Structure 1
């Protein structure tokens, strides 16, 4: 079954000869960056090899969450929440955003204590996040049948529709003056005197002063062709959607065996709360040392397998010339097969937890490739060794919610404006300058 149905975004017809900034990638981060830059008066070309939002930006859970993030992301996510609240008006289109709260449940005293410790990270920001239990919890989870000690509840968290959001932002960027080209892969960078001077696309060359690489799971491959080392792997996540249900929870719920989010159509998006699939590929071994801390901390939530992706990526060229057909043209959209085993497990547990879901139908399922870094914190950074190149990738499953603010921060870095938050935690050089790279769950 094909991936989720997106709001279509048509392509502009004429590739410009020049732009101030070329943005590579039409997901939520790339489109948000393009909108920010265009609103500041820069000429922007947004190039997407497939369709706007066609990969993980439309395949995620649709959560817009501050809760349970790495503490380093909190300031940027607070800005993202502020931006989401005005995004429909700003774009003139529906994104499906709604502030409905998110609950991370706890079925043990240990988990309850961990969630409570995480909530302390929000105290300096004066954002409410609290532990709820008993009747207060039952009121937030009508009809549930879970045996819980309580849950972390962050009322300011929200939800939006992944199939609407990136297209809405892309169209707004176009209205602000950006050129939006779909079905137009960027093959390589033009570099002169040690800095970026343009890009070569499959439709021709474009001169520019800066490039933003927001290519999601493809970013490492593109960067590597330009000699930029970007430690990034792919993780597969499986998702399904249901028919409409009356009386289910308004707040999104994470419960270990499942996670669910109410959709704008009254149905639910359902996924596993704990399991992601990792395919062994050649990069698994090239990057094994960099990712050891992540493997140590996240081992229980990762299911490793040897699949056809090994041979597929082994055959992929890692270097090519500007005139060559690239991997971005031979695979326009990553559309991996969803795991039926994961779907049966999470859907069964969700129905057991909320009997009202037993009357719903499974309408569709899909999978997406999440771009992850060794510390599960994104790269939002200039590249010191190649002036003019900027990278926004590696959002590690957190990118949809934080996307609008990531675009704002990237626009600040490109233009030299005062950054909306301190970008130090997101610098690319942390992986090469001797810094300690670590995962921080906040408890």
Structure 2
């Protein structure tokens, strides 16, 4: 993964009591904690591994509204505002820049999809528009992609995963919150049918509310409580280049590559057309729920049987409060990079924009994404267990919307007016 910059020292000891416990110190959990602590509500963030060490620190850094489901766009718009306000709010730069995002295609079918999307979001005033080949050449000069067209949203942007979580964590601590790393939550304690605390590997913490922002691990945690959440894993391999001159500041997504400028002068690149889909026992349990999306994205995932299947097969699905959990056995999920996919991305990118012939690869990594059947997250209270709020299942989109998603989770935990309508994110839709 990318080295995270200036991680703060975590809180040494767990408290006996707090008001809200946030499980997970990724972008969503830290954003929820920051919102709560700014409202004067005591918060403790518990992280089984390190701050931002999984997908929040491994993603592409895109902050986009383009091609999101129309019902999900208001959350992305709220996130734009919060990203822009972040330096004044926390006194640190997360690398956010509204430099725009462009998707390009050679497919008439894909152009039709872009046209349909623009019609569906026409009332939201995004400033997005379709581009002809000459427009693409002006925006991203030096190309030889023979594009049919594309869609461009100038108000989309980017931020730096290597900076954001560390900066948010420092702000949470500076404002009086607590963050305890290497402290897995094993279960929840209840009283009178509602949440009364969390049971950790270091002991119990009494609390009134719990926000579960545990990403990939949320399904297993909830399963032990008898709560159903459908997610399956995907693995995205990523690389970054050394600093170089590039074609533009705008992030660009093609059919088999994407690139975006980094604050350090390099580019973050991935094979946008394909992800690895490691088979797990959950595919047997949940596979039918994913058939529509698999048919729609045929060829976009490489299904394979590897160590993930064995890891999942041997990992406990149920445990007692005094037993070691899967979260303690795997502190940080660190999947293998797929060099072939990264090589495909670089070859396609160099063909489309020859300036990348000069690119020198500085590092590569992979991240595991938790994907819901409709690729939208769950941000909701749990009717069966009052006091538990979910903010998970972001399907690879969580970094961009993270500040607003965490804010919405904090709203639900404190009965504040929600920053956006939470209806699209209800758990009951599954």
For the criterion TM > 0.5, the same-fold answer is yes
* Distance across 2 between alignment mates of 1:247 and 1:415: 46
Correspondence list, 1:3-402, <5 A: 3-7=1-5, 8-402=7-401
Please list the CA deviations of residues 173-230 of structure 1 after superposition, one character each: whole Å capped at 9, or x if unmatched. Answer: 1222210111111111112222111001112210000101100000001111111111
* Distance across 1 between alignment mates of 2:294 and 2:134: 38
Q: Indicate the SS of the match to 1:19.
A: coil
Conserved 8 A contact 1:122-1:128: no
Conserved 8 A contact 1:140-1:249: yes
Please list the CA deviations of residues 206-260 of structure 1 after superposition, one character each: whole Å capped at 9, or x if unmatched. Answer: 0000101100000001111111111111111100000111142210000011011
Moved more, 109-118 or 148-157: 109-118
Conserved 8 A contact 1:258-1:273: yes
Q: Runs of at least 4 residues of structure 1 off by over 3 A?
A: none
Q: Indicate the SS of the match to 2:11.
A: coil
Instruction: Give the deviation of 1:377 after TM superposition.
Output: 0.7
TM-score using structure 2 length:
0.98
Please list the CA deviations of residues 330-389 of structure 1 after superposition, one character each: whole Å capped at 9, or x if unmatched. Answer: 111111111011011001111111111111111111110111111111000011101111
* Distance across 2 between alignment mates of 1:247 and 1:257: 18
* Distance across 2 between alignment mates of 1:46 and 1:263: 29
The unaligned stretches of length 5 or more in structure 2 are none
Conserved 8 A contact 1:17-1:206: yes
Aligned residue for 1:410? 409
Seen in structure 2, the aligned counterparts of structure 1 residues 360 and 63 have a Cα distance that, compared at 3 Å, is: same
* Distance across 2 between alignment mates of 1:278 and 1:266: 31
Q: Indicate the SS of the match to 2:318.
A: coil
Instruction: Give the deviation of 1:172 after TM superposition.
Output: 1.1
The size of the alignment, in residue pairs, is 429
The unaligned stretches of length 5 or more in structure 1 are 432-443
Please list the CA deviations of residues 129-170 of structure 1 after superposition, one character each: whole Å capped at 9, or x if unmatched. Answer: 001224322121121111011210000000110111111112
* Distance across 1 between alignment mates of 2:108 and 2:314: 49
Seen in structure 2, the aligned counterparts of structure 1 residues 290 and 110 have a Cα distance that, compared at 3 Å, is: closer
Instruction: Give the deviation of 1:14 after TM superposition.
Output: 2.4
Conserved 8 A contact 2:246-2:356: no
Conserved 8 A contact 1:104-1:153: yes
TM-score using structure 1 length:
0.95
* Distance across 1 between alignment mates of 2:308 and 2:135: 46
* Distance across 1 between alignment mates of 2:346 and 2:65: 25
Aligned residue for 1:440? none
* Distance across 2 between alignment mates of 1:430 and 1:113: 28
Moved more, 71-80 or 169-178: 169-178
* Distance across 1 between alignment mates of 2:298 and 2:108: 22
* Distance across 2 between alignment mates of 1:429 and 1:116: 31
* Distance across 2 between alignment mates of 1:125 and 1:289: 34
Conserved 8 A contact 1:276-1:301: yes
Aligned residue for 1:437? none
Please list the CA deviations of residues 103-135 of structure 1 after superposition, one character each: whole Å capped at 9, or x if unmatched. Answer: 010213222222122122332122200012243
* Distance across 1 between alignment mates of 2:158 and 2:42: 31
* Distance across 2 between alignment mates of 1:300 and 1:50: 34
Q: Indicate the SS of the match to 1:23.
A: strand
Instruction: Give the deviation of 1:414 after TM superposition.
Output: 0.6
Conserved 8 A contact 1:214-1:393: yes
Seen in structure 2, the aligned counterparts of structure 1 residues 126 and 20 have a Cα distance that, compared at 3 Å, is: same
* Distance across 1 between alignment mates of 2:332 and 2:48: 8
